[in-house]
Amino acid sequence: MELSLKRNPISVWRILQNNLLNGVVFVSHLIENVQVINARASSVIAHFCDSLKVVEHINDRVSLDSQRAEMSPGEAIKALVINLLVKREPLYRVREFYETMDIQNLFGKAWKADDFNDDRLGRALEKLAKSDLPGIYYAIAREALEKEGILLDQAHFDTTSLPVQGIYETAGSEESPLKIEFGHSKDRRPDLKQLMFGLGSVEGIPLFADVMNGNTSDKTWNGTMALRIKDLLPKEALHSMVTIADSAMVTEENLKIFGDRPFISRFPENFKLCKILKKQAFENEADWVQVGKLADKKNAASYRIQGISTELYGRNYRFAVVHSSALDQRKQKKIDRQVESEQAKAEKSIKDWSSVEYHCQEDAAAYLDECLNTPLKYHQITGQVIRRERIKRRPGRPSKTETAPVQTFYICEFSLIKDDARIQNERERESTFVLISNLSRDKEPGSLGLLRRYKAQIDVENLFRALKHPYFVHGVFLKNEARVLGLCYVLVIGLLLYALLQRRIRVKIAEEKTPLRLYGKDFYSPTGKTILEQFDYVNVIEYRDPVTGEKKTVANIPETTRLILIWLGLDETIYLDRRNTG
């Protein structure tokens, strides 16, 4: 008997016995050529790649080499995406990964693991890097939106940095398609070079993607992305989609680019107008509209809001001043540090002031007034002039008959009082932010609607968390910057599939009103990572029927994983003959 085990986590015989439920009867001593493949989520990812036409969209836009047509660039990229989501490996170990996979099932080709070699995959990444990457990605992601029936009502935009280490072959070259260099690190690693990712998400699906040089400014990127989207979207969609972004979007140049295209953005704190609007809102206490909580969480913040219309750069915009009951911990610590620093400086000043002596009470009083006028943000200083006397003795032995003269002088005595009202007022102001928008009141009549739309910005932030999780990025193991650029788009294509799987399961949980039961717990919002992990023990068994001699294939899929497959709109046939499922 020939028995081939490829990363099989459980006994072959146990798998075969489990398949008795499928009507397959095995006589162990007659079975020959049994092969067990730990397929994991490979066929699921391959199915979604085909559903979104990943191979076709890539091959339509990259140059094809007719002399090396055994594997197209699109198929090579698909291979990398499967590898990424099933078992993340550095590029040079992809061949080993495919030694354990059913290549015929995944690609419909009689390839061998050696066909997935470094050179071929590297060339595919270089070809991808030289093509219209944002356009390719958008075409693939647009397929996802259409299949999910998601309307392009609003898109959330943001950027993040990815720190990397090492030396790159084309570093500093003007011809390099991607410059990995120092820039503003959002990971607080200014010591490392980096590259930048920009995403635009719609209902948690990354529809737009960009990979940029490490020192790209968020302000510049927002303008560049606005122009690029103008080329990608038809005019009607362009003027109906609401762009939602953080404060880096708000510059005079970017606002000109947007014109009448609808947007909502956080208004920058460093604008003088922002301070004016906050001050105006707190002066008009009666104008606050109580909103309450916008989330069902136990400790969710409560909001109140004021809508104000005013002019900026010659155009009228809607502004919403929003006050939250929850102060960001970073801002809380910032205020605490400021209070402590001001107190330490004031105490030192008081010590110095108190040591100054005056012979004239009027001079001391003038000095007191000067000290009391010292501007402090979180404290108040009170004080008074104190009359003091001391005996002025002559040098030498004191006289027994002569009384020593008494010297009168004046000093200032101070008290430092923490101004709790001012500190609380600062906390209130720090708990306040301002939104800017040009949405018509026909589209969004109230300021609360602006806030609700903006709060969905968490979707793109969650995508960045997933993208930067070690599950996705263990490191960039390439030295050629063109290949790094290509690999980054493999990452975002993988992120697209990850988000799509996650969304489908969450939508189904909401529809069925039934959580996913995993690890003894109920999951109402499982992550893509958790979902993919449920496929880790999916095994495919190939064997030859001992009676007919016919080659057969069965899939051993845990019960919970079968439910996930059903909720994804799939079944076990994708592991047996995926190409016949459409």
Interval 436-463: pLDDT, tens: 999 998 888 889 999 999 999 999 999 9
How many angstroms separate the most distant Cα atoms in the chain?
137
For residue 83, pLDDT over 80 is answered with: yes
Confidence at 321, pLDDT banded by 50, 70, 90:
very high
Q: Are residues 497 and 387 in the same domain?
A: no
Same domain for 19 and 102: yes
pLDDT band at 66; cut points 50, 70, 90: low
Mean pLDDT over 206-232 rounds to: 92
On whether both 421 and 528 belong to a single domain, the answer is no
The mean pLDDT value for 509-519 works out to 93
Task: Check residues 93 and 125 and name the one with the higher pLDDT.
Answer: 125
> According to the model, what pLDDT value does residue 426 have?
84
State the pLDDT confidence band at 582, using cuts at 50, 70 and 90: very low
pLDDT band per the 50, 70, 90 thresholds, residue 546: confident
Q: CB under 8 Å to 542, separation ≥6 — which residues?
A: 33, 34, 35, 36, 37, 551, 552, 553
pLDDT of 544 above 50: yes
Confidence of residue 148 (pLDDT cuts 50, 70, 90): very high
Which of 465 and 550 is assigned the larger pLDDT?
A: 465
For residue 321, tell me if it sits in a domain: no
Under the banding of pLDDT at 50, 70 and 90, the label for residue 21 is very low
Is 510 found in the same domain as 410? no
Q: What is the pLDDT of residue 295?
A: 81
In this predicted structure, the answer to whether residue 411 has a pLDDT above a threshold of 90 is yes
Average pLDDT estimate for 564-581: 81
Q: Which residues constitute the domain of residue 337?
A: 331-395+402-425
Kindly state whether residues 419 and 512 are assigned to the same domain: no
Residue 169, pLDDT score:
53
**Contact partners, residue 193, CB within 8 Å, separation at least 6:** 163, 164, 165, 180, 181, 182, 214
**Integer Cα distance of 515 and 527 in angstroms:** 13
Determine the pLDDT at residue 24: 44
* pLDDT range class, residue 175, cuts 50, 70, 90: low
112 against 178, higher pLDDT: 112
pLDDT at residue 489 is higher than 50: yes
Query: What mean pLDDT comes out for the span 145-153?
Result: 94
Contact 244, 230 (CB under 8 A): no
**What pLDDT sits at residue 5?**
40
The single residue listed with the structure tokens 């499922």 is 581
Domain assignment present for 526: yes
In this structure, what are the phi and psi dihedrals at residue 2, rounded to the nearest 5 degrees? -100, 125
Asked if residue 188 has pLDDT above 80, the reply is no
* Structure confidence at residue 542 (pLDDT): 84
Phi-psi region of 332 (alpha: psi -120 to 50; beta: other; left: phi over 0): alpha
Q: Is residue 560 part of a domain?
A: yes
Q: Same domain for 503 and 390?
A: no
Phi-psi region of 149 (alpha: psi -120 to 50; beta: other; left: phi over 0): left
Phi/psi of residue 419, nearest 5 degrees: -90, 90
**Domain-embedded: residue 314:** no
pLDDT at 53 over 70: yes
Q: Quick one: average pLDDT of 518-535? A: 93
* Helix, strand or coil, per DSSP, at residue 582: coil
Whole-angstrom Cα distance, residue 79 to residue 89?
12
> Is residue 471 in some structural domain?
no
Same structural domain, 8 and 112 = yes
Asked whether residue 186 is domain-assigned, the answer is: no
Higher per-residue pLDDT: 93 or 270: 270
Report the Cα 370 to chain-centroid distance in Å. Answer: 51
Rounded to the nearest integer, the mean pLDDT of the chain is 86
Of 383, 410, 425, the domain-final residue: 425
pLDDT at 326: 79
Q: How many domains does the chain have?
A: 2
182 C-beta neighbours (distance < 10 Å), count: 13
Confidence band of 215 (pLDDT split at 50, 70, 90): confident
Tell me the percentage of the chain whose pLDDT exceeds 90: 63
Q: Is residue 374 part of a domain?
A: yes
Is residue 16's pLDDT more than 90? no
Q: Which of 135, 447, 462, 421 is nearest to 317 (CA)?
A: 447
User: Looking at residue 69, what is its pLDDT?
Assistant: 63
Q: Do 21 and 99 share a structural domain?
A: yes
Whether 555 is in a domain gets the answer yes
- Predicted pLDDT of residue 475: 54
Same domain, 21 and 107: yes
Same domain, 383 and 497: no
Residue type at 323 in one-letter notation: H
Instruction: Indicate if the pLDDT at residue 29 is higher than 70.
Output: no
